[in-house]
Amino acid sequence: SGYPLGLKGDDIPISGRVVAITDVFDALTSARVYKAAWSVEKALNYIKEQREKQFDPDIVDAFFVVAEKIMQIKQFKTDEHIAKPIIQQVLDGDISVGEAVERWR
């Protein structure tokens, strides 16, 4: 459907395509009050299955290149009192994602 603006394929900004896959990975592997967390393996298999369906194939390929780092960041983010300010800085545009990753190391 191209929600929210009806955009599809390359018309979706690359940032949106990257956020889509990382958001789904995080949502699947995080426990919620309404669902248990999926295993990382199950979530990665789902993302592979959705290549060319829900996700841009090039973004999926790039995701798997950095998947180990993404999982390290995901584990580290459980330290909420440190992670939230850094995440907010990225969202506010004060620092890049790369700078945030360097700070988490």
pLDDT by residue for the chain (105 residues), tens only, comes to: 566 788 888 889 999 999 999 999 999 998 888 999 999 899 999 999 999 999 999 999 999 999 888 877 777 666 655 556 777 888 888 888 888 888 777
In a domain, 91, yes or no: yes
| Cis, peptide link before residue 4, omega less than 30° from 0 | yes
In a domain, 59, yes or no: yes
Enter the pTM of the model. Answer: 0.65
The CA distance from 103 to 97, in Å, is 10
The number of domains in the chain is: 1
In a domain, 98, yes or no: yes
In a domain, 38, yes or no: yes
Containing structural domain, residue 72: 13-104
Q: What is the pLDDT of residue 77?
A: 63
Locate tokens 């990257």: which residue? 18
Residue 5: CB atoms within 10 Å:
9
